[in-house]
Amino acid sequence: MCGEIVGLSGDVDGGSVAPGFAERLGQAIDAAGGVRVAMKVTGISDSQLRRYIGGDSEPSISKLCAIAGFAGVSLRWLVYGQGAVLSDDQIRGNVLASDDTIQVPILDIRAAAGAGSINGDAAELGRAPFSRAFFRHHGVSPEAAQLIRSCGVSMVPTIADRALVMVDRLGRDVVDGDIYVVSLGDEVRIKRLHKSISGKITLKSDNGDKRLFPDEELSVADSRDLRVHGRAFWTERAL
């Protein structure tokens, strides 16, 4: 994992980490079980971890590797904010878990944040660990959570192309303006939904280029036929 970072050596003090590092670090540690679990697994003291999370100090390369390995996140994402948040080890399920950890299934579904994508039966690609505190914070039942991957740029900047998205399968009642995984026929989509008084649903993209990604107002009949699979509430950050 440490080999994925090029150009860093020794400490990363002096501005080598990208803006938002402390926030990414806090998210990663929280999702993997919290500071207490991180302390036990990495051997880094509670006070030192909290200084990192608070932005008062920056870890050495060895400590960064230990934290990324514990949390199962990509070191490049942790340091630079680039690429996917989950490492290959986390997707394969090779990350240490604690009693406070929920293993969330990663399904082989490409939900289109674009023009639509036809999907077959969803196989499980792996599982990723998230803490129970993470689900309490979001008000989501862990058993109802699934991870899928987006496909397309219509929801940029909110959801990046190929980003992992966590879905609450119990969140099927449409709240105006929230993001949902939906389908009409075999097309699985990730869109922001708006519901009119008449019952019509409009699928909206967050991409500002409305020439490429115009709003899609469904007829009353199509609005009734629209399947809402769940509410998207996290995509490598909270939505």
Per-residue pLDDT of 94-109, as tens digits, reads: 454 555 678 888 888 8
Q: Give me 64's structure tokens.
A: 């960064």
- Residue 238: the pLDDT is 59
The length of the chain in residues reads 239
pLDDT for 15: 46
pLDDT at 11 over 70: no
Cα 98–105–150 angle (5° rounding)? Answer: 125
Q: How confident is the model at residue 72 (pLDDT cuts 50, 70, 90)?
A: confident
Amino acid 50: pLDDT: 95
* Residue 234 CB neighbours (<10 A): 21
pTM of the model: 0.68
Q: What pLDDT score was predicted for residue 156?
A: 94
Phi, psi of 78 (to 5 degrees): -60, -45
